[in-house]
Structure 1
Amino acid sequence: MKRSLIAALVGACSTFGLTGCTLGPDFKVPANPLSAHWAQPTIAAPTTTPYSQTNAGAVETQWWNTFGDPLMSSLLRRAQANNLDLGIAAQHVEQSMAARKTVAADKLPSVGAHADYSRARSSSRGLADISGLNGKRNYNLWDTGFNLNWEADLWGRVRRSVEMADANIQVTEEDQRNALISIMGQTAHDYIQLRSTQNILKVTRQNQEIAQHSLSLTQMRLNQGVATDLEVSEATALVASIDARIPPLEQQQSILINALSFLVGREPGALTIELSTVKDIPAGPADVPVGLPSELAQRRPDIRRAEADLHAATAAIGVAKADFYPRITLSGTVGFQATQLSHLGSWATHNFAFGPALSLPLFEGGRPQGVLELRESRQKEAGITYQRTVLAAWHEVDNALSGYHANQRRHESLERAVTASQKALVSAQQQYVAGSVNFLNVLTVQNALLANQAALVQSTADVSLTLVSLYQALGGGWESPPTLAAVSNNP
């Protein structure tokens, strides 16, 4: 009997569900204004050093490996696996999936069981006395059975809610991917800056040795009577000036090592031994595939997130519209009730109840209309946000391409400047020894050399940094399945 009643309830639920409709607009992916090809900056003058060229090939999914620096690649892999921000993003995905389960549960009947016992006594003057004792003595009441409740989703309120929850899952997944791209880009950025700082420190110390040699030479010439105290003071000032540049660079090196330690989930100083050795700044490949503008909408997580957010906002309109219509809830109970435990379960003690309940909003002071208008406005906002996100991504890639080519041209000019400054310093030192120029010329030329060398090192880093920014702007770095798997498994 119990099974047949439950089967009948479920059958009725299914019948109502099949005859229902889904209110609200269906989601459609909006169009985007992306062009067919990127605008390529032109290089007017011939170059002595070939530039890295961009092309329309497929964007590298693991772009960090193209820099040819195993230690940098290792740090990025460790950041993927251990970064705490990525762990938080993974938990947000888990939470959105759990929220979806709670919403989807409304699609199915809720079935419960109960078993109750009470010691009671009815009033002899009351309206009902289920014991039949006319309130003369106490009695036991045993009650057990099953109950079922289900809302017939006639207008698609539940279906739209599940659709919205699915879209919200995609929102958190795209947030996770966006965080992954950001963390990987930040790790590469800090590593390149670390190598730049170390190489500037190396150049500074080399110039310190040159300045110290010039000071010794000036003091010797003073002892020989061919130099003045002014020249010795100028040489001493140069040494002190170069010495003053070293502590900030050492501090910056320490800060960057700690930043990398944090990104890979380690304590301060954990990577000091590993990263203290000076190495060259990692350089990008000769060819840089950048894909096509139309592929941005499929690759960049922020665009995909904006699309999912628009999808959720669209589904929310259907939920709001369904609240204008009546709700039909089917409920039923089946069980046994007896005053003696020994009688419980016999056919004579069975009971059941089954029937629909209808609720219709008649007057709520305009609340449903206000909710609907709010949801429609949010959908329009989400649509505008999508268009803005696409346009901003397009600008970001265009700026990164322009910056990459501009930094390469600047790097070539600085190479020529350093070569000329090195020749000028040798010449100035020789002329000073010969007595044809004073020490001020040597001082001026060496300061110019140090400035140009430091600028060249930073320019080398800037070329690599803008390439990292370009890969980030293109949305590269999350497509590889092992990457997201590693992040999702992060405790």
Structure 2
Amino acid sequence: MRPEIALTQVCLLSGWLLLGSSCAWIPAREQPVEYLEPPEMTETLAEVRERLEHWPDERWWQEFGSPELNEIMEGALKDNPGLKVASARLHEAQALVRVEGARLLPFLDADASLTHERVSQRGVFNALSQGRVSGAHVLLGIINPLSFRYEFDFWGKNRALLHAALGQAAAEEAERAEVRLRLTTAVARAYFRALAFQQQLDLAKELVRVRRDLRQLAEIRFQFGLENELAVQQAITELESAHKREAGVRDQFDVQRYLLARLSGTGSDAIQRLIVRPMAIPRGMPLPAQLPIGLLAHRPDLAASLYRAEAAAKRVQVAKAQFLPSIDLTGFVGFNAVVLTKGASQLGNLLFSGQSFAYGIAPGLRLPWFEGGRLRGELAATRADYDGAVELYNQTLLDAVREVAASLSAWQATRDIVTAHRRLLVAAGKDWRLAKVRLVGGLDDDRDVLRHRHPVLEQEYALRVLESDQLVAMVDLIEALGGGYHNPDINLKSEHP
């Protein structure tokens, strides 16, 4: 057997032994954090689940039937700075996907160089030429129109990097949906409260008129000796309290309009164009009596936390692959030529001649024998990051279930309260109408009519707040269910590395 063949076999055998032994360096994994199963919730029938698969709609605010709300919402989605920042982060993550994806492809480039060099009298070239080129000046021309580098992804490291980048981009997309959801629900809440304050302001003005009329009647009766001064002073005090309430409601109304202007990304002057005419509070949107647990997949924060956990799992795979050998291949095809500076004019002819044609190919092998604990530290860090990401997902899942349960309970409670309060308002209205009938019959005077009118206005005043609370509770439930975000890839659980 020839010596060079025997040496090649020994090198190959040694290489395979190194490849096999390097896998034993990876530290053992402790028990990883497990994904929580979604808590038990009442499941609906199959046809109901299919109907609710895309509930609520992505543009859920249109269900309230308010053209002004639709207009404000469109402006907020277009101009809000927070949404623009989230979009910028998403574009950055998508660009990193292209960067990581390039690792799976060969790198192709071209290079050229022209070097002027003096040969050292004590250098290698002079020694090899037995002193014939001592002190000579040479020109070296190299043109490689094609150079390539490629790393073989035997252990899936580069694919894991790509999948981690894809998971990060998906998480950023879900985060953007979360910012959009928070923005739209905040706009809806501010709008409903502003409408309630607008109607309360009108009722507060009416209450002021009632108190003013009662004060005037008290003053007239005092002049005729039918009332004492205490009754007049009490009427004045109640009038001032009504004025105070009117001023407070006006301030709260302006605060909500300022909030709407800020959320929509417009200046403070925009409030003059918001809710300038009296409008009825929008109708509520129909909500299902039962909600399947699968609707939690509509939550963008839950999707984002799951994507981040899956990306962290891929980074653990990358850290494990660092313990294994890496194999790559480099090569080039081109021309190179060397001439003395005295014959520099001949360099071009020599460089592009067939005798100057050159190529090369070089496979490479890298074995991470010892790196001072860096690889173990990186693996421990990625595993801890994965455990933290899974714990964050578990916490987000539990918070999601609690928010859905709390918001659904609040919506049902406000619905019952509004229904009961409307019955109370009907009863107060009957008393007021009966007082007006008695006034016509001469059995009561104007004071009795005004005194019965006051509780009707008070109940209407309270009803505006309750109706607004019911709409806000609907918005809270919509937010708890994700506001129409939908991703068919989310399964509410994943696999650990």
CA shift digits 1:231-280 (9 cap, x unpaired): 22111111111111223322222222222223223222224234221211
Matches within 5 A, 1:105-124: 105-124=102-121
* Counterpart contact for 2:296–2:481, Cα < 8 Å: no
1:391 equivalent to 2:391? Answer no
AA at the equivalent of 2:197: T
Partner of 2:40: 35
Matches within 5 A, 1:358-377: 358-377=365-384
Superposed displacement of residue 446, structure 1: 7.9
Partner of 1:179: 179
- CA distance 1:448–1:87, change in 2 (3 Å): same
* Counterpart contact for 1:106–1:158, Cα < 8 Å: yes
Q: Which runs of 5+ in 1 are unaligned?
A: 1-21, 40-54, 481-491
CA shift digits 1:342-373 (9 cap, x unpaired): 32221222233321222211122322222222
Q: Which runs of 5+ in 2 are unaligned?
A: 1-22, 340-346, 488-497
For residues 67 and 79 of structure 2, the distance between their equivalents in structure 1, rounded to whole angstroms, comes to 18
Partner of 1:262: 262
* Counterpart contact for 1:397–1:470, Cα < 8 Å: yes
Superposed displacement of residue 178, structure 1: 1.4
1:334 equivalent to 2:341? Answer no
Matches within 5 A, 1:285-300: 285=285, 287-289=286-288, 292-300=291-299
SS for the counterpart of 2:114 is strand
For residues 304 and 245 of structure 1, the distance between their equivalents in structure 2, rounded to whole angstroms, comes to 45
CA shift digits 1:180-214 (9 cap, x unpaired): 22111111111101101111111111100101111
Which of 56, 59, 63 aligns to 1:60? It is 56
Partner of 2:323: 324
AA at the equivalent of 2:37: N
Partner of 1:350: 357
Partner of 1:382: 389
For residues 221 and 94 of structure 1, the distance between their equivalents in structure 2, rounded to whole angstroms, comes to 76
Q: Tell me which structure has the larger Cα radius of gyration.
A: 2
- CA distance 1:186–1:74, change in 2 (3 Å): same
Which of 436, 439, 464 aligns to 2:471? It is 464
- CA distance 1:329–1:290, change in 2 (3 Å): farther
For residues 117 and 374 of structure 1, the distance between their equivalents in structure 2, rounded to whole angstroms, comes to 47
Work out the number of aligned pairs and report it.
438
Superposed displacement of residue 427, structure 1: 8.6
Matches within 5 A, 1:136-151: 136-145=135-144, 146-151=146-151
SS for the counterpart of 2:75 is helix
CA shift digits 1:435-468 (9 cap, x unpaired): 999x9x9999888666543322110100111011
For residues 303 and 206 of structure 1, the distance between their equivalents in structure 2, rounded to whole angstroms, comes to 48
Partner of 1:102: 99
* Counterpart contact for 2:334–2:357, Cα < 8 Å: yes
Superposed displacement of residue 290, structure 1: 6.5
Deviates more, 1:442-451 or 1:471-480: 442-451
* Counterpart contact for 1:320–1:368, Cα < 8 Å: yes
* Counterpart contact for 1:404–1:467, Cα < 8 Å: yes
SS for the counterpart of 1:113 is strand
- CA distance 1:291–1:226, change in 2 (3 Å): closer
For residues 393 and 289 of structure 2, the distance between their equivalents in structure 1, rounded to whole angstroms, comes to 22
* Counterpart contact for 2:332–2:360, Cα < 8 Å: yes
SS for the counterpart of 1:165 is helix
Deviates more, 1:300-309 or 1:448-457: 448-457
SS for the counterpart of 1:406 is helix
* Counterpart contact for 2:105–2:150, Cα < 8 Å: yes
AA at the equivalent of 2:56: E
Normalised to the residue count of structure 1, the TM-score between the two structures is 0.80
Partner of 1:49: none
Superposed displacement of residue 374, structure 1: 2.6
SS for the counterpart of 1:128 is helix
Matches within 5 A, 1:119-130: 119-128=116-125
* Counterpart contact for 1:67–1:282, Cα < 8 Å: yes
Partner of 1:230: 230
* Counterpart contact for 1:290–1:474, Cα < 8 Å: no
Q: RMSD across aligned C-alpha pairs, in angstroms?
A: 3.4
CA shift digits 1:117-141 (9 cap, x unpaired): 2333222222225999724453333
- CA distance 1:179–1:299, change in 2 (3 Å): same
Matches within 5 A, 1:42-57: 57=51
For residues 143 and 80 of structure 1, the distance between their equivalents in structure 2, rounded to whole angstroms, comes to 57
- CA distance 1:228–1:435, change in 2 (3 Å): farther
* Counterpart contact for 1:188–1:468, Cα < 8 Å: yes
Partner of 1:315: 314
Partner of 1:188: 188
AA at the equivalent of 1:330: L
* Counterpart contact for 1:34–1:293, Cα < 8 Å: no
SS for the counterpart of 1:123 is coil
- CA distance 1:136–1:368, change in 2 (3 Å): closer
Partner of 1:5: none
For residues 128 and 446 of structure 1, the distance between their equivalents in structure 2, rounded to whole angstroms, comes to 112
For residues 282 and 96 of structure 2, the distance between their equivalents in structure 1, rounded to whole angstroms, comes to 44
For residues 41 and 422 of structure 2, the distance between their equivalents in structure 1, rounded to whole angstroms, comes to 36
Partner of 1:410: 417
For residues 217 and 36 of structure 1, the distance between their equivalents in structure 2, rounded to whole angstroms, comes to 61
AA at the equivalent of 1:76: M
Report % sequence identity.
Answer: 26
For residues 240 and 430 of structure 2, the distance between their equivalents in structure 1, rounded to whole angstroms, comes to 24
SS for the counterpart of 1:266 is coil
For residues 89 and 315 of structure 1, the distance between their equivalents in structure 2, rounded to whole angstroms, comes to 24
